[in-house]
A and B are shown apart, each in its own frame.
Chain A
Amino acid sequence: MQVDLRVLRYDPERDSKPYWAEYLVESGPMERVLDLLHRVKWEQDGTLTFRRSCAHGVCGSDAMLINGRNRLACKIRVDQLGRRISVAPLPGLPVVKDLVVDMEDFFAKYRSVRPYLVNEAPLPARERLQSPQARARYDDTTKCILCAACTTSCPSFWAQKSYVGPAAIVNAHRFVFDSRDEAAQERLEILADKDGVWRCRTVFNCTDACPRGINITQAILEVSAAIVERRI
């Protein structure tokens, strides 16, 4: 079938402002939006620009706004969208070119929550023990691929760009609830800041947007509850 693909384009070297470009693309129902973008780029217009790598939903490169929702272009099929498909860059981040946004601030916020295991105890000769129950406690948030679909779907983030955002909180959660970690207190202090968890208005956009199915809103609420419990 033929798909009417609209892409919000902008090349700072050529364009004074963004514009919608339209392409007619041949597609099968099981093909992904990424396949359509490639078809345009390889056959019609080589200047169409987007990030992608693994093409099966695990690297997180190709998050974009597709028919009004943040998703991975490699993980959403044409038959799920219909014959009219619109694609725009992730909202709320500066556009570099076409569908490519500037990710530097996003990764800086990720780094700001100390996203690594802290445990200064002497190392045992073998692995540390962790029960399957303790392991399950933080399983959901280990799935994050840092695609930014959640943070850039969040109205609180759009309104206040200094908000650390759902993705960073998810990655803090992954360590706060890991029984092996000793730095929960410091992370919770970081997230108790005015640009931390309290900016969440539980709109659930992040949870809806997550291509990994992480229950992000719940993770944020669990971090908030931990802050309250510890009276930070």
Chain B
Amino acid sequence: MMVSRGATRSPVIHEFEAVIVGAGGAGLWAALELARAGVRTAVLTKLYPTRSHTGAAQGGVCAALGNLEEDHWEWHMFDTVKGGDYLVDQDGAEVLAQEAIERVIELEQMGLPFNRTPDGRIDQRRFGGHTRNFGEGPVRRSCFAADRTGHMILQTLYQQCIKHEVTFFDEYHVVDLLVDDGLTGGVVAYRIADGELHVFRAAAVLLATGGNGRMFRVTSNAHTLTGDGMALAYRRGIPLQDMEFYQFHPTGIVGLGILLSEAARGEGGYLLNDQGERFMERYAPRLMELAPRDLVSRAIYMETRAGRGIGGQDFVYLDVRHLGREVIEAKLPDITDFARIYQGVEPLTQPVPIQPTAHYAMGGVPTDIEARVVVDDRGTVLPGLHAAGEAACVSVHGANRLGTNSLVDLLVFGRRAGRSMAEYCRSAAAPELVANAHEPVRAELDALRTRGVGENPNHIRAELAAAMMDDCGVFRTGDGLRRLVPRIRELKERYERARVQDAGSIFNTDLLEAHELGYLLDCAEATVASALAREESRGAHFREDHPERDDGDWLKHTLAYRAEGGPRLAYKPVTITRFEPKPRTY
């Protein structure tokens, strides 16, 4: 087999009109729109498309179809705004709630096998924070395919991409974003199979790389969710928005973080402490277990801190036994399987030990409602650059995302991104490639595998994940965050001297993981700086030294720009249209 040692070879150049980075739900829907518009598009993924983490989403996708009871998109919009503790941009939430309905119908028409009502319509169930009539009580809004809704969305969109002959570059890891003179120029990618660098020249680029949960020790996220798109943008001077808002999902498998869907509570599951109490009564008397995730995660910590965890330990029980075998097997088959395999617990007869797990970044690359990346507090667009899905921050989730709204987000804004890119490509062309555009990143990759001696990057990753979990988790303090700032700087310095063991070219996952660690470190730096500055508690960001929400000083979005000596922070206002901020009770 031919062996190529990168350093002296020139990269392979590809010419497209549009490039999509990431083949989860957002990237695939954007690809479909571009294919329908006849735009020459390449979809790059570091996995195979069907391995994307959209496929792990379980419980459903909310849309006010009203198939089982009265529902209205305005109610969905309100729940989204309130769930996000009023940091949501309401123009975005309006688009989200309205278009959710069209997108879910369209998914059905593409073939998605939703569960059905007896009369053959899409079945719907309750989900955390989704209510009727502006908060009165839970509503059946979540459309689902058993507890593998995300799997079916990912499969269905990929199937449609095959039908529309979308061009995929599978197992290409994107290592640089080309921005020249204020214009998007394409990306540089590392082909995992042989270590060759490929330059993709394109006028429009979509960052749809998902989240960055791997910066925490206990997470529901795939190993590959390393904040790639966020860090690529950050390194090019684009700010990251609202990174301090990171969601911990209440019901992760103890120690492992694997998710047991909110669908378990949507179907009527209980959360119990050591005394067998449904403790949510103390924290959210109206919605109980179906309160938004930030509240439930904090409640679990409060219980365990007060010594009411199971056996005094740091977890509580999720109990679905009373739902009966039929409901569990028809509507929650996968997650009961997870409990059996990963905990050795039988949910039909035993309560399942759970604890909060790092789950979802509300923050990300700032965009407008057309999924165009905006680079400042005045809405200035970086021409050609787009972001969608978890990598982006529209912001429709504000300070805390509601269950299922991640899927709604990627459907609605993935489609909008594709349309916006097609529109852009009609009039714009990619700028000429700068000579040797790939050289900086080649040097970076070569250093990781050829410098004489260096630390094992896996140790740095483990330390980062532990430190973030300890001091930037569900509860935060000024002292803890101040400790973290120099800690992350130190880890970044050590990373500059790290070296992988595998120096080869073929399928070098050692190198790949080390490069991903660089992305995580950038995300962590922006997260910690944003969290330290925000001296209030809002949504998922809870400061024990500032436990109240402070609309006077902090009803604003954070923008973290990369700078020497640590991120530079700026702020921008929240768009408020229909719903004035109110105290948030459930």
The residue in chain A whose Cβ has the minimal distance to the Cβ of B123 is: A132
- Indicate if the CB atoms of A131 and B116 lie closer than 8 Å: yes
Given A43-B458, A59-B55, A116-B163, decide whether A139 and B113 contact each other with a Cβ distance below 8 A. Answer: yes
- Indicate if the CB atoms of B501 and A53 lie closer than 8 Å: no
- Indicate if the CB atoms of A13 and B162 lie closer than 8 Å: no
Chain A neighbourhood of B343, CB < 8 A: 30
Chain B neighbourhood of A14, CB < 8 A: 504
Name the contact of B111 in the complex, choosing from A13, A143, A181 (C-beta under 8 A): A181
The residue in chain A whose Cβ has the minimal distance to the Cβ of B143 is: A127
Name the contact of B116 in the complex, choosing from A54, A116, A135 (C-beta under 8 A): A135
- Indicate if the CB atoms of A13 and B116 lie closer than 8 Å: no
- Indicate if the CB atoms of B120 and A130 lie closer than 8 Å: yes
Q: How far is the CA of A221 from the CA of B104 in the complex (A)?
A: 33
Q: How far is the CA of A131 from the CA of B146 in the complex (A)?
A: 15
Chain A neighbourhood of B160, CB < 8 A: 116
- Indicate if the CB atoms of A46 and B56 lie closer than 8 Å: no
Name the contact of A111 in the complex, choosing from B162, B337, B462 (C-beta under 8 A): B162
Chain A neighbourhood of B182, CB < 8 A: none
- Indicate if the CB atoms of B113 and A178 lie closer than 8 Å: yes
What's the least CB distance linking B289 to chain A, in Å? 23
- Indicate if the CB atoms of B507 and A123 lie closer than 8 Å: no
What's the least CB distance linking A73 to chain B, in Å? 12
- Indicate if the CB atoms of B162 and A116 lie closer than 8 Å: yes
Name the contact of A45 in the complex, choosing from B111, B146, B501 (C-beta under 8 A): B501
Q: How far is the CA of A135 from the CA of B462 in the complex (A)?
A: 45
- Judge if B109 is at the interface, Cβ distance under 8 Å: yes
- Judge if B410 is at the interface, Cβ distance under 8 Å: no
- Judge if B53 is at the interface, Cβ distance under 8 Å: yes
- What are the interface flags for A95-125 relative to B under an 8 Å C-beta threshold, 1 for contact and 0 otherwise? 0111010010001000100111101000100
- Indicate if the CB atoms of A138 and B51 lie closer than 8 Å: no
Given A54-B53, A103-B48, decide whether A47 and B111 contact each other with a Cβ distance below 8 A. Answer: no
- Indicate if the CB atoms of B51 and A59 lie closer than 8 Å: yes
- Judge if A52 is at the interface, Cβ distance under 8 Å: yes
Chain A neighbourhood of B50, CB < 8 A: 59-60, 145-146
Given A13-B504, A42-B458, decide whether A54 and B56 contact each other with a Cβ distance below 8 A. Answer: yes
- Indicate if the CB atoms of A53 and B506 lie closer than 8 Å: no
Chain B neighbourhood of A100, CB < 8 A: 507
- Judge if A50 is at the interface, Cβ distance under 8 Å: yes
Taking CB atoms and an 8 Å cut-off, the chain B residues in 41-77 that contact chain A are: 47-48, 50-53, 55-56
The residue in chain A whose Cβ has the minimal distance to the Cβ of B258 is: A56
Q: How far is the CA of A77 from the CA of B338 in the complex (A)?
A: 12
Name the contact of A11 in the complex, choosing from B145, B193, B223, B506 (C-beta under 8 A): B506
Given A11-B504, A107-B48, A132-B116, decide whether A57 and B122 contact each other with a Cβ distance below 8 A. Answer: no
- Indicate if the CB atoms of A54 and B222 lie closer than 8 Å: yes
Chain A neighbourhood of B170, CB < 8 A: 107
What's the least CB distance linking A192 to chain B, in Å? 21
The residue in chain B whose Cβ has the minimal distance to the Cβ of A143 is: B148
The residue in chain A whose Cβ has the minimal distance to the Cβ of B501 is: A46
- Judge if B152 is at the interface, Cβ distance under 8 Å: yes
**Further pairs besides A13-B506, A100-B507: 14, Cβ < 8 Å:** A46-B501, A46-B510, A50-B509, A55-B222, A57-B337, A58-B55, A58-B56, A61-B47, A117-B159, A129-B120, A132-B116, A132-B120, A142-B148, A146-B48
B residues in contact (CB < 8 Å) with A? 1, 3, 47-48, 50-53, 55-56, 104-105, 108-111, 113-122, 145-146, 148, 151-152, 155-156, 159-160, 162-163, 170, 193, 222-224, 256, 258, 334, 337-338, 341-344, 456, 458, 462, 500-502, 504-510
A residues in contact (CB < 8 Å) with B? 11-14, 30, 32, 41-43, 45-47, 49-61, 75, 77, 96-98, 100, 103, 107, 111, 114-117, 119, 123, 126-132, 135, 138-139, 142-143, 145-146, 175, 178, 180-181
